[in-house]
């Protein structure tokens, strides 16, 4: 009698497994077309940084809403450990390049970024960063320069790009330049509304926006207030006007700097600030089901390890093995249309290929 029950159980199990996989297949076939992509990069955000934030927040993060998780391999073309220039370029342009390079391949040749593919296809595009927009990560999505140090040249690339909105710091590379050019005037001549503080940024809901709210970098959280989540909301408000869709890159820039400094509390503050920005993106994806949100990192910073903690008090105990970057794989969290494509282990450069396929832009580079 027991044996009969066991056989029945096995038959039923097989039946349910088959049913559920058939259901998954149908689910995938009806996945909405990807129209909007929001790429969110926590600079230096490895699994420890994520879990430090989760612990400090007493057990939860908004990013846990993501349905699919993968890992990306971050090494650059010339180094086991990438910098943010090569890491950003890999994600933005789908090519492994030398450390320090911005939007160019190993031979220094410009490589088209996801924002440029999107603009060519009639989509609106944007960049939001809690650092200078000319800094390595945001620059990788817009500029093409052999070195991340060329921030004045990178500012010119912003001026000459087809970008719809950018919000961050770095004003001095536009209006206090060694060539005495005033790129803010030139941006206005090209139809940009130039906003130099958050009140003015929030007033702009149509057209093109250059939001440069700090000479160099916005302050460390909490001094900069809700700059990052508010800027993500402002950028989305503007980008969603395009019926064809949009592509937006958001960077939580200073997780990296907190980890270079081996500052646990700053790491947690920056991680939670980034998570609040993530909530804005996930909320938009809930309103518009043709939206894909990808949350990842360019590399891990600090070799951060959590050596203790308390989920009820939010206490985090951490040590750092390094004041630099490390080589470990970084998580890729995905939510919304096409999110299933981001499960698995793959190269950081595959992220671009997956996005191009989901948009339906093809994969020629």
- 234 with 240: CB under 8 angstroms? no
- For the chain, give the number of residues: 365
- 170 with 176: CB under 8 angstroms? no
CB of 83 to Zn ion, least distance (A): 7
Residue in the block written with tokens 């950018």 = 166
Would you report the helix, strand and coil content of the chain in percent, each value rounded to 5? 40, 20, 35
- 346 with 73: CB under 8 angstroms? yes
CB closer to Zn ion out of 151 and 256? 256
User: Which of Mg ion, Zn ion, none does residue 137 bind (CB under 5 to 8 Å by kind)?
Assistant: Mg ion
Q: Scan residues 263-302 and list those touching Zn ion (CB under 5 A).
A: none
Stretch that binds Zn ion, among 190-198, 253-261, 304-312, 342-350 (CB under 5 A): 253-261
CB of 175 to Mg ion, least distance (A): 22
CB closer to Zn ion out of 230 and 256? 256
Residues annotated as catalytic are: 84
β-bridge partners, 102: 145
Tell which phi-psi region holds residue 226, choosing left (phi > 0), alpha (psi between -120 and 50) or beta. alpha
User: Which of Zn ion, Mg ion, none does residue 95 bind (CB under 5 to 8 Å by kind)?
Assistant: none
Q: Scan residues 231-250 and list those touching Zn ion (CB under 5 A).
A: none
Cα separation, 177 vs 156, whole angstroms: 11
Chain residues binding Mg ion by CB under 5 A are 43, 84, 137, 253
Q: Please tell me whether residue 256 binds Zn ion under the rule CB under 5 A.
A: yes
CB closer to Mg ion out of 168 and 211? 168
User: Which of Mg ion, Zn ion, none does residue 152 bind (CB under 5 to 8 Å by kind)?
Assistant: none
Size of the site for Zn ion (CB under 5 A): 1
Smallest Cα–Cα separation from 130: which of 254, 19, 260? 254
Smallest Cα–Cα separation from 76: which of 348, 276, 358, 357? 348
CB of 118 to Zn ion, least distance (A): 27
User: Which of Zn ion, Mg ion, none does residue 105 bind (CB under 5 to 8 Å by kind)?
Assistant: none
CB closer to Mg ion out of 84 and 113? 84
CB closer to Mg ion out of 74 and 84? 84
Cα separation, 296 vs 304, whole angstroms: 17
Chain residues in the site for Zn ion (CB under 5 A): 256
């Amino acid at each position: 009698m027991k044996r009969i029950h066991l056989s029945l159980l096995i038959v039923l199990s097989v039946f349910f497994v088959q049913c559920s996989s058939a259901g998954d297949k149908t689910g995938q076939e009806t996945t909405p077309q990807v129209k909007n992509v929001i790429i969110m990069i926590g600079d230096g955000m490895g699994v420890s940084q994520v879990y430090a934030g989760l612990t400090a927040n007493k057990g939860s993060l908004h990013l846990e809403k993501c349905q699919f998780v993968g890992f990306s391999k971050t090494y650059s073309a010339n180094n086991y450990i990438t910098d943010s220039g090569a890491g950003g370029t890999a994600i933005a342009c789908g090519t492994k390049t030398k450390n320090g390079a911005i939007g160019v391949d190993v031979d220094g040749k410009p490589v088209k970024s996801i924002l440029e593919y999107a603009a060519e296809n009639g989509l609106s595009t944007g960049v939001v960063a809690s650092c200078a927009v000319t800094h390595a990560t945001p620059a990788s999505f817009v500029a093409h320069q052999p070195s991340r140090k060329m921030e004045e040249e990178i500012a010119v690339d912003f001026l000459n790009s087809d970008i719809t909105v950018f919000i961050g710091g770095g004003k001095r590379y536009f209006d206090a330049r060694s060539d005495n050019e005033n790129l803010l005037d030139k941006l206005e001549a090209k139809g940009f509304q130039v906003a130099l503080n958050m009140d003015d940024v929030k007033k702009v809901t149509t057209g093109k926006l250059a939001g440069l709210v700090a000479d160099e970098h916005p302050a460390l959280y909490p001094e900069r207030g809700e700059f990052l989540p508010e800027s993500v909301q402002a950028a989305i408000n503007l980008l969603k006007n395009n019926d064809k869709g949009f592509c937006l890159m958001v960077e939580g820039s200073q997780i990296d700097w907190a980890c270079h400094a081996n500052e646990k509390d700053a790491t947690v503050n920056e991680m939670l600030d980034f998570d609040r920005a993530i909530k804005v993106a996930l909320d938009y994806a809930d309103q518009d089901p043709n939206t894909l949100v990808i949350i990842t990192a360019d590399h891990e910073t600090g070799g951060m390890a959590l050596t203790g903690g308390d989920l009820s008090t939010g206490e985090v105990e951490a040590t750092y093995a390094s004041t630099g970057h490390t080589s470990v794989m970084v998580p890729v969290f995905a939510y919304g249309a096409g999110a299933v494509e981001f499960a698995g282990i793959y190269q950081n450069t595959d992220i671009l290929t997956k996005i191009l396929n989901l948009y339906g832009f093809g994969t020629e580079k």
